[in-house]
Amino acid sequence: MLSNIVDVLADPVDLTRLRGEDGFSRLVSESGHSYDVARQGYVSLVGGKGLNHGGDSLEMVRSREAFLAQGYFAPFVEAVTDAVGDVIERSAAQVDDPVVLEVGAGTGYYLAHTLDSIDGARGVGLDISVPAAKHLAKSHPRTGAVVADVWERIPLRDASVHAITVVFAPRNPEEFRRVLVDGGEAVILTADQGHLDELREPLGILGVEEGKLERMLEQAKGHLEPVADAELIEFPMQLEREAIAAQVGMSPSARHLDPATLAERVAALPERLEVTARAQLIRMRKAGEA
């Protein structure tokens, strides 16, 4: 619910504080800007430039929900939750209600799992996609859903977030540094070469480009630095055709492939296929903080 997290939200125009008005039907900033809370419980905190793309479509969000609900990515979810638990436990700023920001939070599946494992933790689920935000708003009672573009100024107060999670989603190291408390960390899970490799050729889907992690570390320089080496998380999944269709439907490949062609290619696969899941988990703190 937004009322749980309003104290950390900020006006996207000038970063002043927001408060709920008219029974939390809108948020109003100290500088007088007003942002309507949607009927479904999320708020769009978008500055002057507006959004220049919509993120995941409703179909992609539905595919994501269907796939994740089967638990295929459980080792990824556990790894992210464990890392956030560790950050919060070790954080110098011991508080009863730490704030976890998930960027590109999608359906809120990862954030809900993390909040369930940390007593009192509050979640900000940020996504550029309105269909995703609608899911996020009901994903966990301690999650507040915000539509915003992570490439712009993040609509959160300076030093208000104890941990940031990013799972297969875009990052903004400069803004992450601004919103993190001292001792806070960003926990980033990024697909590694070999992820879903068995599906690449038969379905004609996009592969993970080489050197992705290294490029990310390079881009973060001066803002964030790794706490330790990245951890490789790799496991096999036994996927039936339906799960494969959902997996592809929630990935960027969904935008490049015509649905009929994809359906034909999925139908030509064996009934069940072993598919590799492979990603790197990296924890990053503010640069120069060690």
Ligand X SMILES: C[S@@+](CC[C@H](N)C(=O)[O-])C[C@H]1O[C@@H](n2cnc3c(N)ncnc32)[C@H](O)[C@@H]1O
Residues that bind ligand X (CB under 6 A): 55-56, 64, 104-106, 109-110, 127-129, 132, 149-151, 167-170
Query: What is the rounded distance in angstroms from the CA atom of residue 123 to the CA atom of residue 126?
Result: 9
Query: What is the rounded distance in angstroms from the CA atom of residue 87 to the CA atom of residue 114?
Result: 12
- Nearest Cα to 279, choosing from 165, 127, 112, 115? 165
- Going by the DSSP 8-state scheme, the letter that residue 7 receives in this structure is G
Amino acid symbol at 70? Q
Query: What is the rounded distance in angstroms from the CA atom of residue 155 to the CA atom of residue 175?
Result: 10
**Cβ nearer to ligand X, comparing 11 with 149:** 149
Nearest distance in Å: CB 54, ligand X: 8
Nearest distance in Å: CB 24, ligand X: 23
Query: What is the rounded distance in angstroms from the CA atom of residue 100 to the CA atom of residue 123?
Result: 5
**Cβ nearer to ligand X, comparing 184 with 249:** 249
- Going by the DSSP 8-state scheme, the letter that residue 209 receives in this structure is P
Query: What is the rounded distance in angstroms from the CA atom of residue 157 to the CA atom of residue 178?
Result: 8
- Nearest Cα to 276, choosing from 232, 211, 215, 242? 232
CA 156 to chain CA centroid, nearest Å: 15
**Cβ nearer to ligand X, comparing 106 with 155:** 106
**Cβ nearer to ligand X, comparing 58 with 232:** 58
- Outline where DSSP puts E strands in the chain: 18-21, 26-29, 34-36, 43-44, 99-103, 122-127, 143-147, 161-167, 180-191, 224-226, 231-240, 272-286
Nearest distance in Å: CB 49, ligand X: 12
**Cβ nearer to ligand X, comparing 37 with 126:** 126
- Nearest Cα to 246, choosing from 258, 263, 224, 229? 263
Nearest distance in Å: CB 32, ligand X: 26
**Cβ nearer to ligand X, comparing 24 with 151:** 151
**Cβ nearer to ligand X, comparing 64 with 153:** 64
Nearest distance in Å: CB 228, ligand X: 22
**Cβ nearer to ligand X, comparing 169 with 262:** 169
Nearest distance in Å: CB 22, ligand X: 27
Nearest distance in Å: CB 126, ligand X: 6
Query: What is the rounded distance in angstroms from the CA atom of residue 265 to the CA atom of residue 241?
Result: 10
